Amino acid sequence: MSLVYVTSRFPFGPGEAFLAPEIGAHVAAGCDLRVFPMLPKGGLVHRDAATFIGRTDGVDLRGTAAAGVKNLATRPGRFTRTVVRAGRSRSRAARLRNYAVLLRLGALIEALDRARATHVHVHWGGASSTLAMAAAEAVGIPWSMTLHRWDIAANNLLDEKIESACFTRVISQAAVADVRAVVPDADPVVIHMGVTVDARALEPNAAGRHGGCRLLNVANFVEVKNHRDLVEAFGRLREIPDVTLDLVGAGPLLNEIRELVASLGLEEKVNLLGPLDHDELLRRLAGREWDGVVLTSAATPDAHEGIPVSLMEAMAAGIPVLATDSGGTRELIGEDAGALVPAGDREGLTSGLARFVSDPVFRARLATNGHRRVSEEFNAEVSASDLRRLIASCSA
């Protein structure tokens, strides 16, 4: 199997670090795999992603643009049809993104030819899958895509992509209904995203070893991650001794949250750590530097939360989690594998946090159940193996 993964930016940029375990599992299984980022910008932020740079094509934008023009000259009819199709997307913004990404089409075709690729798999249903679909069809090989959450709601030619793809994978049961709301006759396959699971995390949890409770939140500072409610709810626990909250991430609302922390007098309890290298984050999770991981989401129609990888990674490390009940989160931590509170319920979030930080026995039970849940259902090796079986069936 010669497989090409089309990504948004991976291995570059701060996002998509969650792809490293899946791609790594393919490589470890002996798969001949290349990566083609739609937009190779943002630098090599994460060390674990940087290990795939030797497998990455299309990095030299100037060089690939020249090669792409030459390649497309041999397929003018196909390119014309692709441009027409790209313009059928329902929104002007999506159409513009489709047109922009087609500047990379010739380069991806060349990469597929050079790799003698037998299959293209793409993450996201937006412009990256527009690019993957056009390239795979141009060279006559099967392709498939993984849809997450926001990209389903965006609906960038999803009906045409689902019809063209050999299969469509979604990462949660909740996403099945989302896809069918957009494309009623679609039949997506659920294969969870997975993380690397360390059996050593089954050792007894050291929760409470700090003499208190140190919490972690990993999320970009954007509206949907609802840091405001989290910080305000945490502020109501100020009377509980030795409880701290570390916020990891970057984003447009970072300064706003920093000001909120100051206005509530929480500078000694809430630490804004900025972005962390993914490999560094995993190392610190494995070292049990935190007693719990908390993730919140806004209760709005555009809060398209999938199954949060940050929660999976914490559970794989034997750290208990608490989250708001949004999107596919319940699918991960329901049934006592984590604590759930209603999205948008500020009082519920406050009381949920209060129990979480005050009850180490409760946290220890959640840690044990959470690790078991991830080991069985969200293991990167298992998920990647299931995905390869589907890919192999496309050529059967």
DSSP codes joined into one string, 188-236: -EE----B---GGGGSPP-TTTTSSEEEEEE--SSGGG-HHHHHHHHHT
The per-residue pLDDT for 303 is 59
Question: Sorting pLDDT into bands at 50, 70 and 90, what band is 186?
Answer: very high
Rounded to whole angstroms, the Cα distance separating 166 from 137 reads 11
The per-residue pLDDT for 128 is 96
The per-residue pLDDT for 46 is 86
The per-residue pLDDT for 63 is 62
- 250 neighbors 14 (Cβ within 8 angstroms): yes
End-to-end CA distance of the chain: 12
- Closest alpha carbon to 225 in 310, 335, 290: 310
Burial status of residue 63 (CB atoms within 10 A of its CB: 0-12, 13-18, 19 or more): exposed
Going 375 to 378 to 380 to 382, the CA torsion angle's sign is positive
The per-residue pLDDT for 239 is 87
| Domains recognised in the chain with CATH numbers | 2-194+379-394 (3.40.50.2000), 199-377 (3.40.50.2000)
Task: Quote the mean pLDDT of the chain.
Answer: 89
The per-residue pLDDT for 166 is 98
- Residues near 54 by Cβ (< 8 Å), separated by ≥ 6? none
Residue with tokens 């014309």: 80
Instruction: Find the mean pLDDT for residues 265-294.
Output: 94
- Residues near 314 by Cβ (< 8 Å), separated by ≥ 6? 216, 285, 290, 293, 320, 321, 370
CA distances from 380 to 15, 85, 109, 174 (A): 18, 35, 29, 20
- Closest alpha carbon to 378 in 344, 342, 328: 328
The per-residue pLDDT for 335 is 80
Answer whether residue 200 shows pLDDT above 80: no
Instruction: Find the mean pLDDT for residues 82-104.
Output: 79
- Closest alpha carbon to 151 in 133, 130, 136, 121: 130
Condensed to tens digits (0 to 9), the pLDDT of residues 158-180 reads 999 999 999 999 999 989 999 99
Question: Sorting pLDDT into bands at 50, 70 and 90, what band is 207?
Answer: very low
The per-residue pLDDT for 71 is 61
Rounded to whole angstroms, the Cα distance separating 184 from 191 reads 20
Rounded to whole angstroms, the Cα distance separating 254 from 52 reads 30
- 199 neighbors 238 (Cβ within 8 angstroms): no
The per-residue pLDDT for 99 is 83
Instruction: Find the mean pLDDT for residues 132-150.
Output: 94
- Stated length of the chain: 396
Measured in whole angstroms, how far is the alpha carbon of residue 311 from the centre of its chain?
11
Answer whether residue 85 shows pLDDT above 90: no
Rounded to whole angstroms, the Cα distance separating 89 from 108 reads 21
Comparing 36-40, 56-60, 297-301, the range with the smallest average pLDDT is 297-301
Answer whether residue 73 shows pLDDT above 90: no
Rounded to whole angstroms, the Cα distance separating 392 from 119 reads 9
What percent of the chain lies above the pLDDT cut of 70?
A: 90
The per-residue pLDDT for 205 is 46
Instruction: Find the mean pLDDT for residues 170-197.
Output: 94
The per-residue pLDDT for 75 is 62
- 51 neighbors 312 (Cβ within 8 angstroms): no
Q: If you ran DSSP here, which 8-state letter would residue 344 be given?
A: T
Instruction: Find the mean pLDDT for residues 112-125.
Output: 96
Comparing 168-182, 261-275, 303-317, 332-346, the range with the smallest average pLDDT is 303-317
Question: Sorting pLDDT into bands at 50, 70 and 90, what band is 256?
Answer: very high
pTM reported for the whole predicted model: 0.86
Rounded to whole angstroms, the Cα distance separating 259 from 262 reads 5
Answer whether residue 210 shows pLDDT above 80: no
Answer whether residue 190 shows pLDDT above 90: yes
Answer whether residue 394 shows pLDDT above 70: yes
Answer whether residue 61 shows pLDDT above 90: no
| Cβ atoms within 10 Å, residue 150 | 17
The per-residue pLDDT for 206 is 44
